A and B are shown apart, each in its own frame.
Chain A
Amino acid sequence: MTKSQPLSAERAFALDYAAEIERIGGALRQALSTELNRRGLVVAISGGIDSSVSAALAVRAVGPKRVYGLLLPERVSSPASTHRGRLLAGHLGIECEVFDIAPALEALGCYARIEEVCKAVHPGYGAGWKNKIVLEGGLEGRYNHFKLVAQDPTGKIHEARLEYRQYLMIVAATNFKQRVRKTMEYFHADRLNYAVVGTPNRLEYDQGFFVKNGDGSADVKPIAHLYKSQVYAMARHMLLPDEICNAVPTTDTYSLAQGQDEFYFGLPYAQMDLALWAYEHDEPAARLGEALGISADAAQAVYADIEAKRRATRYLAAAPIRMPPS
């Protein structure tokens, strides 16, 4: 793309999908045979686009008999997610198990801790209420922080900023979900002598939108180099079921419906994709602003937010820090 042309997602994310599927398949087989010495792949399927495409790529790489799918719902998972997961497993012809992690989460105190915070922030919180946390600040040049949004049984919405200790507690408790799921993935990987597939896309991987030792943990990450827009396009190229190709990205982690954009990215994924692409290609903020229909200052704030999230989450993907030799 020359600097004289306006930024275009179509041009930015153009890819030879057939060739890319072959390339990823070859890399997965290579990783399994020579680096990991494992016989197949375990994929936890959420019903969303990323895990669906990752599972489909795994099947293209090693065939359906060597891919084990896991659906790991908990108390607040949408039934639609499990439905889409089953649909995908059937479509791909893979063995798939549904395992409810809610009892494990209950025993670990996950739900009780979340409810404690909700009650502290919204004193009337109780049966019939729903909650989610929403990111604010970064795109307006303020520090990023989270609000707890709660819906009471009458449908009324209550919002309040989470203070430091409340924020840490709700995140720590919620992270049990991703970590318990990963424990189950590795249980099956160990018993089958398979490797675990991690399913972050490039936007998530770059911006640290994953839980350390939770969904961030894996042996291979087949789509961590692909923008989410490319993941959607790949799903369509691989003729995955329409319900999956058209699924709106959600976190499926809080009891109140929560988009990934409001939870973490601030902008819808297609705009964040283009922003990250523009940032990585040293495009001036004004050109990004033009493409997104926002001011150059607002686009600059998006760039600053990309940098801030990279800095704040760098340790999530890093190897443990070892002490320098004496």
Chain B
Amino acid sequence: MSAAEQVRQYILENFLFSTDTSLLGLDESFLERGLIDSTGMLEVILFLEENFGVKVGDNEMVPENLDSVNRIAAFIERKKA
């Protein structure tokens, strides 16, 4: 499963209590949907650190890196490169 699909599945199950992929577009902004607040983002970061072996720095905690499934997937790819 691609990183994007893993992240989407996690967010669907954990934040939307669903497995229906039609509920979350890959480019949808979590902030605009009111889906993930700052505490929720800490949870997402823990998921990324535990499942992808990346360490998210304080200065990397910005919407440009983390505010959609595809942004997160691209961020992970950059971190692993």
Residues of A within 8 A of B (CB): 136-138, 141-145, 161-165, 167-168, 308, 311-312
Query: What is the predominant secondary structure among interface residues of chain B facing chain A?
Result: helix
Residues of chain B within 8 A of A312, CB atoms compared: 37-39
Contact B43 A308 (CB under 8 A): no
- B residues 32-66 in Cβ contact with A at 8 Å: 34, 37-39, 41-43, 45-46, 58-59, 61-63, 66
| B72–chain A nearest beta-carbon distance, Å | 13
Query: What is the predominant secondary structure among interface residues of chain A facing chain B?
Result: mixed
Cα–Cα, bound, A144→B62 (Å): 10
Residue ID in chain A nearest B31 by CB atoms: A308
22 A-B residue pairings within 8 Å (CB atoms): A136-B58, A137-B61, A141-B63, A142-B59, A142-B61, A143-B38, A143-B41, A143-B62, A143-B66, A144-B38, A145-B38, A145-B42, A145-B58, A145-B61, A161-B58, A163-B42, A167-B39, A167-B42, A311-B34, A312-B37, A312-B38, A312-B39
Residue ID in chain B nearest A307 by CB atoms: B31
Residues of chain B within 8 A of A163, CB atoms compared: 42, 45-46
| A306–chain B nearest beta-carbon distance, Å | 13
Residues of chain B within 8 A of A144, CB atoms compared: 38
| A28–chain B nearest beta-carbon distance, Å | 35
Residues of B within 8 A of A (CB): 34, 37-39, 41-43, 45-46, 58-59, 61-63, 66
Residues of chain A within 8 A of B59, CB atoms compared: 142
Residues of chain A within 8 A of B34, CB atoms compared: 311
Residue ID in chain A nearest B45 by CB atoms: A164
Contact A142 B62 (CB under 8 A): yes
Residues of chain B within 8 A of A143, CB atoms compared: 38, 41-42, 61-63, 66
Residues of chain A within 8 A of B62, CB atoms compared: 141-143
| B11–chain A nearest beta-carbon distance, Å | 15
Which of A136, A141, A165, A308 lies in contact with B37, CB distance below 8 A?
A308
Cα–Cα, bound, A40→B70 (Å): 58
| A170–chain B nearest beta-carbon distance, Å | 12
Residues of chain B within 8 A of A311, CB atoms compared: 34, 37
| A132–chain B nearest beta-carbon distance, Å | 18
Residues of chain B within 8 A of A136, CB atoms compared: 58
Residues of chain A within 8 A of B45, CB atoms compared: 163-164
Known: A137-B61, A142-B58, A145-B61. A164 touches B46 (CB 8 A): yes
| B18–chain A nearest beta-carbon distance, Å | 19
Contact A308 B42 (CB under 8 A): no
| B75–chain A nearest beta-carbon distance, Å | 13
Contact B38 A137 (CB under 8 A): yes
| A239–chain B nearest beta-carbon distance, Å | 41
Cα–Cα, bound, A138→B58 (Å): 12
Q: List the 9 closest pairs (A to B, CB-CB), nearest first.
A: A144-B38, A164-B42, A312-B37, A164-B46, A143-B41, A143-B61, A142-B61, A143-B38, A164-B43
Cα–Cα, bound, A137→B34 (Å): 18
Residues of chain A within 8 A of B38, CB atoms compared: 137-138, 143-145, 308, 312
Residue ID in chain B nearest A313 by CB atoms: B37
Residues of chain B within 8 A of A162, CB atoms compared: 42
Residue ID in chain B nearest A165 by CB atoms: B46
